[in-house]
Amino acid sequence: MSKSVGIIGSGGVGKTLGLGFLKQGYNVTIGTRDPAKLKEWKDKAGEKASIGSFADAARCDIVVLATLWTGTKSAIDQAGPDNMKGKVVINVTNPLDFSAGPPPRFAATVENPGGAQVQAWIPGARVVKAFNTISANIMIQPKLEDGTADLFIAGNDEAAKKEVTAIAQAWGWGSVNDMGDILMSFWLETFAMLWIYFGFKNNHWTHAFKLLRK
Ligand SMILES: NC(=O)c1ccc[n+]([C@@H]2O[C@H](COP(=O)([O-])OP(=O)(O)OC[C@H]3O[C@@H](n4cnc5c(N)ncnc54)[C@H](OP(=O)(O)O)[C@@H]3O)[C@@H](O)[C@H]2O)c1
């Protein structure tokens, strides 16, 4: 039987990754506080997709966290940290503060990156920070005209990082670079800021990072 993926978050990231996992043969549940807004997505996604609560998503085999940063702790509490015990949790969130309008300000520190905060909020889960340095609309099709995007991931659990690497490779990502433990999330989050500021400065939203080696 195919594994199930639960996505806590119904924005562009949740909907896009949901379709990406469905293409890979997983059953997908998107969790939201407002199921009505996902009717159109469900019609497009088909039989293997369902809509539920944050807790329904957290009960799936693999969990994706894709919530607005300021709502993330609350969404985790509603999902139930115990529901994610022992599971791979792919954390796509970025610690952004939109309170002063766009562009958002960075809302984490090197000692306490967003990724480490999420791991502390779900202590029993195997959190992997990933997919946070690219826009949702190209997250599952990272082959661009200028080349194939490379991914940077971080987390404390080696097996979980291997699982996320396989998922990324199935979507066609280039090299998947394991940067180390969850504290390394900080650097992935600053990369996201670079991505965001490039976007605002150039009004360009389909760029991505590639690591060149000699
Ligand atoms: N958009 C991108 O291209 C992109 C790329 C890389 C990383 N990211 C990061 O990925 C995350 C998701 O981004 P997004 O653009 O897909 O969606 P988003 O608009 O940032 O977040 C939408 C989700 O957050 C939930 N949410 C908002 N406020 C909440 C609260 N107070 N309590 C509980 N849940 C709350 C919403 O719940 P309901 O469903 O109940 O409304 C919804 O599921 C963000 O952290 C973002 O920084 C985004």
Q: What is the mean pLDDT of the chain?
A: 98
Nearest to 63 by CA among 45, 33, 36, 86: 86
Our answer on whether the CB atom of 53 is closer than 6 Å to any ligand 1 atom is no
pLDDT in tens, 94-128: 999 999 999 999 999 999 999 999 999 999 999 99
Local structure of residue 125 (DSSP, 8 states): S
pLDDT exceeds cutoff 80 at 1: no
> b or e along 35-55 (b: 16 or more beta carbons within 10 Å of the residue's beta carbon)?
beebeebeeebeeebbbbbbe
Our answer on whether the CB atom of 147 is closer than 6 Å to any ligand 1 atom is no
Contact 189, 94 (CB under 8 A): yes
Give the per-residue pLDDT at 2: 85
pLDDT exceeds cutoff 80 at 82: yes
Give the per-residue pLDDT at 44: 97
pLDDT exceeds cutoff 90 at 87: yes
pLDDT exceeds cutoff 80 at 171: yes
Distance CA 169, CA 171 (A): 5
Residues of the chain with pLDDT > 90, as a percent, come to 99
Name the closest-CA residue to atom 10, ligand 1.
93
pLDDT exceeds cutoff 90 at 214: yes
210 CB neighbour count, 10 Å cutoff: 13
- Average of per-residue pLDDT across 81-105: 98
In the chain, what are the domains? 4-202 (3.40.50.720)
- Average of per-residue pLDDT across 64-92: 99
Contact 78, 58 (CB under 8 A): no
Distance CA 145, CA 81 (A): 41
pLDDT exceeds cutoff 90 at 174: yes
pTM confidence score: 0.98
DSSP assignment of 40-105, as one string?
A: HHHHHH-TTEEEE-HHHHHTSSEEEE---HHHHHHHHHHH-GGGGTT-EEEE----EE-TT-SSPE
Nearest-atom index, ligand 1, CA of 13: 16
pLDDT exceeds cutoff 80 at 213: yes
pLDDT exceeds cutoff 80 at 13: yes
What separation in Å is there between the alpha carbon of 84 and the centre of ligand 1?
19
Our answer on whether the CB atom of 4 is closer than 6 Å to any ligand 1 atom is no
Our answer on whether the CB atom of 71 is closer than 6 Å to any ligand 1 atom is yes
What separation in Å is there between the alpha carbon of 93 and the centre of ligand 1?
7
